[in-house]
Structure 1
Amino acid sequence: MVEQLSQREGDCFLLTPNRSMSWRGNIRIWLAAVFLSLIIATGMLLAGAWPVLPFAGLELTALAAAFYYTSRRCQRREVLTFAPELIRLEKGLTRKEQEWELPRRHTRVWQDMPRHPWTPPKLHLQFRGEEISLAPFLNIDDTEELVAILERHGLRVEKRRRPEKLLF
């Protein structure tokens, strides 16, 4: 998701992954799975298949871990600020963990074109040999919106195709 923020220093944009459900929504889905699993496990227990209970517990634990991991990864955010002479990129989960200040005039923007039409292109900022990925979690529409924003702020987005990686 691309959201414009107001800031005195220049245009500022918040880049976040799309989140289809809140943390409370995830908990409700998990509790529904617990309830359904308990009903099934109780029926199996009454039928004499008691070994089903530990596996039901393992299954629910794995589901809870998957919900937590996915929800945590969806909390990533990047803040992209365009000042008159600089581009500032800040990345982090709950707080700023990394920050780059790049001179606007000497920064290049690369767009790695995907091999499949359903895959979103990946954006990179490059300055002095250092290549910084820019919002790799965005979907196709949001990536196109970000490319338009970059071009509107005077940056030329150069398209490239990465060479195929060999699997052996």
Structure 2
Amino acid sequence: MLGIALVMAVIAGSFASMGAWLVLPFSGAEWVLLAYCFRLGLRNCRIREVITITETLVQLERGYGTPEQIYRFQRAWVALDWTESPIKGYPSRLSFRSHGKEIEIGRFLAEPERAALASELRKILFDSK
């Protein structure tokens, strides 16, 4: 970010030296917005979901780096729900459902990764019983 700021400052400074001084505050505002978006992207890269499946329990831990939310389902009652989007280009939805509670999983995954996760979860949850 420092390198980008330096390049932006040189460009804005050269325009300001030619009399276009109004470029400076807009260049600064642009850098602040870029830094905010960069920070937001880095934060979203730290999203974690850990699914633990035992003989009697399905547990989902979700958070940024460390678990912030923990959801538990009885394995015998859990359903894996895969919903394709009716609108082309929009992501599908994969979720655990049990007793009226539904928790979406894998929101941050690409479509092929979400499909692979659904397939693997089906094998583990339902084929091994």
1:14 matched to which residue of 2?
none
More helix by share: 2
1:143 matched to which residue of 2?
114
SS of residue paired to 1:144: helix
Structure with bigger RCO (C-alpha 8 Å, 6+ apart): 1
SS of residue paired to 1:120: coil
TM-superposition CA deviations, 1:22-53 (whole Å, max 9, x none): xxxxxxxx334222211211111110111211
Cα deviation, residue 115, structure 1: 2.6
2:50 matched to which residue of 1?
79
What is the aligned-residue RMSD (CA, Å)? Answer: 1.6
1:126 matched to which residue of 2?
97
Structure 2, unpaired ranges of 5+:
none
User: For residue 95 of structure 1, what is the amino acid of its counterpart?
Assistant: T
Cα deviation, residue 116, structure 1: 4.0
1:98 matched to which residue of 2?
69
Structure 1, unpaired ranges of 5+:
1-29, 157-168
CA contact under 8 A between 2:80 and 2:122: conserved in structure 1?
A: no
Q: How many equivalent pairs are there?
A: 127
Deviates more, 1:77-86 or 1:113-122: 113-122
Q: Tell me the TM-score normalised to structure 2 length.
A: 0.90
Q: Tell me the TM-score normalised to structure 1 length.
A: 0.70
User: For residue 35 of structure 2, what is the amino acid of its counterpart?
Assistant: A
User: For residue 44 of structure 1, what is the amino acid of its counterpart?
Assistant: F
Give percent identity, aligned residues only.
29
Tell me, yes or no, if structure 1 residue 31 matches structure 2 residue 5. Answer: no
